[in-house]
Amino acid sequence: MREHRIAVIRGDGIGPELVDAALDVLHAVVELDGAFRLHIRFVDAGARAYLETGTSMSAEDLTACAESDAILKGPVGLPDVRRPDGTEAGLLGGTLRGTLDLYANVRPVTLWPCVETRVRHERPVDYVIVRENTEGLHASRGLGVANRWAAADTLLMTRPAVERIVRYAFDLAVRRARAAPERGPHVTCVDKGNVLKSFAFFRAIFDEVAREHPDVGADHLHTDAAAQALVLEPRTAWMSSSWRTSSVTS
């Protein structure tokens, strides 16, 4: 029987409630399927761990996560638990992303039939946002400089990291199109390349990769225009394939 090792971080605030509900679903799936089982290891990490130990995650627990097949993590951090420099303590983004190289932040967005939401659209909404998860301003996590007069965080983008996230987006667009042949693959690069050199750099690499995929539609949107489109019309012409990729790194 297949066994999957799952590291579980219950998190803070509403986190434990969400994770416990997710575990109920997972256990129900195991019982219904019968072909695999889960080996679950609870990991103490987050704001509560920081208050108790002075660190958001121990080296032992980080190793446990690295050795697991998957990590189920609830929301971590509490607004009033902060480090001496004013940043929020108990967050795990920098720890998990950097150590495990979790470079692709993949966020599918779907309006399901018969599920009531605040967003209402006559046409189907079904797309995915992909965000580079390790560079940009994330690379400056814990490394910013500041005094009482000024503060600075460095925004970093490297060619290898940009290429792999863009290729991930194009590959995913192709896979999604295969599952739904009626709509062709399409990727939209969302950036602030009209203002920042780092995003112009990102856009140039995006265009290079796009030329390697002549059968995949590709275009661009500035970040502010994309934010408006996502609210007012999440299924516009530039999303005709129900797919887009975002270069937003914050």
Q: What span, in angstroms and rounded, lies between the C-alpha atoms of 118 and 102?
A: 31
User: How would DSSP label each residue in 99-112?
Assistant: HHT--EEEEEEE--
As a whole number, mean pLDDT of residues 127-148 equals 90
Q: What span, in angstroms and rounded, lies between the C-alpha atoms of 213 and 211?
A: 5
Single pTM value for the model: 0.86
CATH ID of 103-250, from 3.40.718.10, 1.10.246.90, 1.10.150.80, 3.40.50.720: 3.40.718.10
For residue 249, name the pLDDT band (cuts at 50, 70, 90): very low
Q: What span, in angstroms and rounded, lies between the C-alpha atoms of 46 and 31?
A: 30
pLDDT one-digit tens code per residue, 178-231? 888 777 899 999 999 999 999 999 999 999 999 999 999 999 999 998 888 888
Which DSSP symbol is given to 82? B
Strand, helix or coil for residue 62: helix
The crossing angle, in degrees rounded to 10, of helices 93-100 and 59-67 is 50
As a whole number, mean pLDDT of residues 46-63 equals 94
Cβ–Cβ contacts within 10 Å for residue 112, how many?
10
Q: What span, in angstroms and rounded, lies between the C-alpha atoms of 58 and 96?
A: 12
User: How would DSSP label each residue in 43-57?
Assistant: ---SHHHHHHHSSSS
Q: What span, in angstroms and rounded, lies between the C-alpha atoms of 6 and 139?
A: 27
pLDDT one-digit tens code per residue, 75-133? 999 999 999 888 899 999 888 998 999 999 999 988 887 888 777 777 778 889 999 99
Cα–Cα nearest to 221, from 247, 198, 189, 250: 189
